[in-house]
Amino acid sequence: MDPEPEPRPPLTALVGVALVSAAAIATQIALTRIYAITLWHHFAYLVVGLALLGFGVAGAWLASRGGAVLPDEGEPTAVLARRARYAAVASLLALLLSMVIRPNALMLLRDAGVAFSLAAMVVLSTVPFVGAGAVIGTALAVWPARAGRVYAADLVGGGLGALVVAFGIGTLGAIGIVGGCALAFALAGVLFDGGRRWRPGAVTFLGLSLVVLLALADEDDWILPAPTKELSLVHRPQLGIDAVEHRAWTPHGRIDVLGEVVGPPLVAGEVGHFEPRWRVRIVTQDGAAPTTMHGVDADPRELTFLPRSTTAVAWVVRGVPFATPESDEGARVLVIGVGGGVDVMLALAHGAARVDGVEINPAILELTTSRYADFVGHFADS
């Protein structure tokens, strides 16, 4: 007698696998953005290893069970649903807990406590990937003859998860992405059950939704820049000092715009006492790499400190005086990394005929072309 053909995975289960895969990829990307702020950029690459570690741990756990991937009495979809719910709760709680551990990573070789704290962050940050690996690995083991379908759902979900982060992080922020991924795990649990036992999944989903909403109330409760970053010197929300007036997320990172101050120019190489004082807004990227926007009424030539900056060396070498009127014979300038616009203003103030600016971060570009266009004198319209 021919063996009975293996049942196909239901469509709801394949959608559940896709959701879990999307959540895993989106969590991984969100963690790179969070680590870049809280630990410094080079630690963001650690997340790639954490994902591999988590999947490996899950695979080792499933392999250690031999043929007993499922409990003896377990129905495949019910077991998948339960493991997805566990992954939802564990991943959200573990990641939120990891964010309240705030080691000074640059003291790693000087303070044993920092090493312990980083190790704790690593363990906690691995939890979502252990959960995702357990669910997807279980699905592959349950339907081995249909592994191609399961794997296809895994790949499609991963691609969609990356797209969600690319287009959604500007609205949700990294915390919102992390919370949304936990909800995706929980929703996958509901789909695995196929609506037959919806109460546990619904309760998990609603409970996590409440936690996510509370976590989204104030991002500064969870994501603070490393203590050695420039932003942490002036922005201390835990002490009631809120210096940030605008914040934006992109896949490239988070920008923070500090409130306007009046003081010396902040470009590069300026020394001594300057009169008059200038209106300045500082912009940080992931809490560091500050760039500045300088306020003008209409014309970059108002910034009389520009020719005394080291950034003006190219114009000194060319022999072009400051405040040269714009003309068709002026230089054609390419500025790579527009930032706060000082280099663009410098070119315009030296009579450049054309200035092309390149900026990879759309949130930075939006500052000088829209939100703070009045502050910088609409130089982007020149």
- Structural tokens at position 126: 């691995």
Spell out where 267-307 has E strands: 278-285, 288-294
How confident is the model at residue 1, as a pLDDT?
45
Q: How many residues in total does the chain contain?
A: 382
C-beta pairs of 173-177 under 8 Å, 24+ apart in sequence = 173/216, 173/219, 173/249, 173/254, 174/30, 174/31, 174/33, 174/34, 174/223, 174/249, 174/254, 175/215, 175/216, 175/219, 175/222, 175/223, 176/212, 176/216, 177/26, 177/27, 177/29, 177/30
How far is residue 227 from each of residues 106, 208, 256, measured CA to CA in Å?
A: 9, 31, 16
Q: How far is CA 334 from CA 118, 145, 356, 358, in A?
A: 42, 57, 5, 8
What does the DSSP 8-state code read for residue 329?
Answer: T
Which segments in the chain show pLDDT lower than 70?
Answer: 1-6, 66-74, 195-198, 201, 268-276, 382
Yes or no: say if 174 and 29 are a contact pair by the CB < 8 Å rule. Answer: no
Domains of the chain from N-terminus onward: 11-221 (1.20.1250), 230-381 (no CATH)
- Phi/psi class of residue 157: alpha, beta or left (left: φ > 0; alpha: ψ in -120 to 50)? alpha
pLDDT digits (tens, 9 = 90+) for 113-132: 888 999 999 999 999 999 99
Note whether 43 and 35 are within 8 A (CB): yes
Cα-based distances in Å from 105 to 36, 209, 371: 11, 32, 34
What amino acid occupies position 125?
A: S
Q: For the residues of 208-237, what is the DSSP string, one character each?
A: HHHHHHHHHT-GGGT----TTSHHHHH-BG
Q: Which parts of 39-111 fold into alpha helices (H)? A: 46-64, 76-99
Q: Cα-atom radius of gyration of the chain, to the nearest Å?
A: 26
Token pair, residue 203, equals 């309760």
Distance CA 186, CA 37 (A): 28
3-state class of 2 per DSSP? Answer: coil
Residue with tokens 């790949």, as numbered in its chain: 155
In a 13 Å sphere around the CA of 367, the CA atoms on its Cβ side amount to: 28
pTM of the predicted structure, to 2 decimals:
0.87
